[in-house]
Structure 1
Amino acid sequence: MTRKGERRKGLWRVLALLVVLALALAGKAWSDTMGDPQVRHTEFVHKGLPGGSSPVRIALLSDIHVAGPDMPPERLVRIVAQVNALEPDLVLIAGDLVSDKMLATRVYPAEEIVAPLAGLKARLGVIAVPGNHDHWFDMPGLAAELDKHGIILLANSARVAGPLVIGGLDDDFTRRADLRQTLDAMAPLRGARVLLSHSPDPFPDVPNSVPLVLAGHTHCGQIAYPWGGAPATMSDYGDRYACGRVDEHGKALVVGAGLGTSLAPVRLFTPPEIWLIEVRPASR
């Protein structure tokens, strides 16, 4: 074979390898975008719970982003069934029910976005906070639909849920969060303190009297590197609070990767997540 023929053969091998890699990457992206959410588990010992009391199982959902093509209401119905199979005591939704991404193939009205969430079953109820996309879309309409289906919306306010006091921040990304107002709303209520926020960024300012913070917003980057980390996290703290559980200064933060997508309808190396958090007393 001539040198020219060898070079041509080598070029075809490189092109074939690139095609295989591209197909593998596309398959991974499809799986990460459209696959069933992974269930991640963690335990948190809460000193605010009386000794001997039963643990509370919290299902944390975030960034549902109902919109076509990747998160139609029909898919959310299936995810709700998956959550119910976990038998949580309480479901907390950390904002962004809707996606208004430019590449959306369909944008749904508020009633169709919220309706599947009516199927969530938890003995202590379902509580949500607003996200930035909710405010940009139609927060009053979404709030009305949540109320119609018995889902509590907290925005710089608080609510008792069994042995827990849930403080719910309004969205920090759109500068609506008021931590002091939320803490003041929690103050007269009796129970172990938990804070629900769309963004993880308020975490450093949360006092140790509220030792557990649950959030979303970052999508764990949505499109991440296979070795960890991501080009962007939509957090002022970069990768510090971008994904998973962080224990810092006597407090714990859990940041979910979310369920849907924003900007582009693609996830890569960041599969959708449901977090199941068992909050238990120091002694049983």
Structure 2
Amino acid sequence: MAGKLRQSRKIRWIAALLALATIALGTKAWSDTMRDAVIERTRVTLPELPDDAAPLRVALISDIHVAGPDMPPERLERIVAQVNALEPDVVLIAGDLVSDKRTATHIYTPEQIVAPLGALDAPLGVIAVPGNHDHWFDMPGLAAELDRHGIALLANEAMQAGPLAIGGLDDDYTGRADIAATLAALGRLRGARIVLSHSPDPFPEMPGSIPLMLAGHTHCGQIAYPWGGAPAHLSDYGDRYGCGRVDENGKTLIVGAGLGTSLIPLRLFTQPTVWLIELRPPEQVAPTAANSRM
């Protein structure tokens, strides 16, 4: 009888500990999901910038995934204010404005999704590319709203932004990226070349004439391990281009963790992120250009 009583108490203690662990993990996940965006900073050399060019500040945001419960338009308005406070020269949006996940508590209209982005303030403009969820949701509707709010949408096209020539790939994940067309469009422009893509997977196909590519899509795993890394990154290259800055073969890739969520409305051990990238000619680069986190 005493043995059964001890066993019963042990089971109750284990159940209580598991319940506490579940509550703690859930609290951590909701905190990671809803916290203010982390600002990641880095410097990149662009050889084609004029020697006397002032440093340029590029804000990269991606995977906004407007949907309830975690990314209502009101929260995006606060993030836009946070981005504007960084005083970027240009804002680049690497796709997936919307989330149509089955776990969403509310799906918004294209007008509601894009309206907060209309307040982004950057003298060289705000430029976006499509993501897979944008195509699955309502790309024509989103494109019309982006145009109404003065946000350029590039889909295998390029445009001039001051001393920068920016090429925008259509979504690679849904098979719409046309690298050759984008590079041809860039070839008709002058200035330092950057490619903006939703997925990082086209990076190995970028020629050496493209020193910088910016992307999103991976969410840095969204649900990650506490010690680093994640079970999956939605990339054909696994974790090779899964998160952050990658310098490879003389080129730089920066992959943002995104702002919202996909599939389930939770992050865990990843945080919503905005990248602020300072672009300089070679001789203006400091001796060390390490990333820093605010």
TM-score (norm 2): 0.94
- Work out whether 1:282 is the aligned partner of 2:289: no
C-alpha separation in 1, matches of 2:21 and 2:176 = 44
Alignment partner, residue 99 of structure 1:
99
Work out whether residues 160 and 190 of structure 1, in 8 Å CA contact, stay in contact via their aligned partners in 2.
Answer: yes
AA matched with 1:214:
L
C-alpha separation in 1, matches of 2:88 and 2:266 = 29
AA matched with 1:76:
L
C-alpha separation in 2, matches of 1:151 and 1:217 = 20
Q: CA deviation at 1:6?
A: 3.4
Query: For each residue in 1:7-63, what CA deviation from the matched residue of structure 2 results, as whole angstroms up to 9, or x when unmatched?
Result: 333333322222221111011100111111111111101111121211110000000
Which runs of 5 or more structure 2 residues have no equivalent in the other structure? 285-294
Q: Using the TM superposition, name which of 198-207 and 37-46 deviates more.
A: 37-46
Work out whether residues 63 and 96 of structure 1, in 8 Å CA contact, stay in contact via their aligned partners in 2.
Answer: yes
Aligned residues: 284
Work out whether residues 52 and 283 of structure 1, in 8 Å CA contact, stay in contact via their aligned partners in 2.
Answer: no
Alignment partner, residue 21 of structure 1:
21
Instruction: Give secondary structure in 1 for the equivalent of 2:236.
Output: coil
Alignment partner, residue 61 of structure 1:
61
Alignment partner, residue 242 of structure 1:
242
C-alpha separation in 2, matches of 1:16 and 1:107 = 37
Alignment partner, residue 76 of structure 2:
76
TM-score (norm 1): 0.97
The alignment-based identity, stated in percent, is: 69
Query: For each residue in 1:112-142, what CA deviation from the matched residue of structure 2 results, as whole angstroms up to 9, or x when unmatched?
Result: 1100000001111100000011111111111
AA matched with 2:155:
A
C-alpha separation in 1, matches of 2:6 and 2:134 = 58
AA matched with 1:203:
F
AA matched with 2:246:
V
Alignment partner, residue 194 of structure 2:
194
Work out whether residues 134 and 142 of structure 1, in 8 Å CA contact, stay in contact via their aligned partners in 2.
Answer: yes
- Work out whether 1:39 is the aligned partner of 2:39: yes
* Mapping of residues 230-269 of structure 1, within 5 Å: 230-269=230-269
Alignment partner, residue 49 of structure 1:
49
Q: CA deviation at 1:3?
A: 3.7
* Mapping of residues 162-173 of structure 1, within 5 Å: 162-173=162-173
Alignment partner, residue 126 of structure 2:
126
C-alpha separation in 2, matches of 1:225 and 1:77 = 30
C-alpha separation in 1, matches of 2:86 and 2:7 = 57
* Mapping of residues 161-240 of structure 1, within 5 Å: 161-240=161-240
Instruction: Give secondary structure in 1 for the equivalent of 2:282.
Output: coil
Instruction: Give secondary structure in 2 for the equivalent of 1:283.
Output: helix
Query: For each residue in 1:88-117, what CA deviation from the matched residue of structure 2 results, as whole angstroms up to 9, or x when unmatched?
Result: 111000000011101111111111110000
Q: Using the TM superposition, name which of 225-234 and 130-139 deviates more.
A: 225-234
Work out whether residues 171 and 199 of structure 1, in 8 Å CA contact, stay in contact via their aligned partners in 2.
Answer: yes
Query: For each residue in 1:211-260, what CA deviation from the matched residue of structure 2 results, as whole angstroms up to 9, or x when unmatched?
Result: 10000001111111112222221111111101111111101100001011
- Work out whether 1:116 is the aligned partner of 2:123: no
C-alpha separation in 1, matches of 2:199 and 2:226 = 24
C-alpha separation in 2, matches of 1:78 and 1:274 = 13
RMSD (Å) for aligned C-alpha atoms: 1.2
Q: Using the TM superposition, name which of 27-36 and 176-185 deviates more.
A: 27-36
Which runs of 5 or more structure 1 residues have no equivalent in the other structure? none
